[in-house]
Amino acid sequence: MTPLAFLAVALAAVALQPETDAPQVPPASEALVDRFIAVIPDAHQVENAQWDIDAEQLTRLTELNPERSGDIEAVSQAYRDCTSPIARAVTMRLLRDAARGLGEEKLERLVAFYQSTDFTTFKAISERGEAGAEVSDADMAEVLRITSDYPVMDFVESTSRAQAALFQDEALVGTILRCEEEMRSALASRDLRDE
């Protein structure tokens, strides 16, 4: 997801927040948040998070600038270089804030979920569905049981709240906009058409 798309999602999340927020619970401890970060799947992706140029824009650049793939890749790499530090920081901050916002009890349950066979089952069913395979009624019942037993949906809601708060950070938004401007300047300096 590009930074501007991420920003748009965050702004939509702010707009969709209910008038009455969820009851506040004391935040989970940093030690428990660290345990959560340690057990989530694909944690290495958080450490290597990066944002790329939007796929539609990349396709448009390629179509408008045939035989300029080297220049387009150079601009894309410069964009990744600009956004990668903020992408890593934002991703980690978002996960930590969302986890902290669950409070001790729910975060303990979420850690238990990621360490359980229920997570393996949930992941397998999700992957089959994402691959276009039919998900049986029994599989759906199992997903419902799992999401009832563990605070998975609470984490999704907490992530939405954390994301909304994150994009009220003017420094973050300014960094994203600076990278977008640098990309536009790089396109112009290489005489690459974007429209």
pLDDT in tens, 126-140: 999 999 999 999 999
Distance CA 4, CA 10 (A): 10
Say which residue, 8 or 125, is predicted with more confidence.
125
Token code pair at residue 79:
């964009």
**CA proximity to 183, closest of 90, 87, 83, 110:** 83
Cα separation values, 151 from 44, 109, 163, 166, 180, Å: 23, 7, 18, 22, 37
Token code pair at residue 66:
């045939």
pLDDT of the residue at 22: 56
Selection from 7-11, 138-142, 163-167 with the highest mean pLDDT: 138-142
Angle, CA of 127, 50 and 103, to the nearest 5°: 65
Say which residue, 45 or 182, is predicted with more confidence.
182
Helix (H) or strand (E) holding 186: helix 170-189
- pTM for the complete prediction? 0.74
Token code pair at residue 101:
């916002």
DSSP designation for 156: H
3-class DSSP state of 98: helix
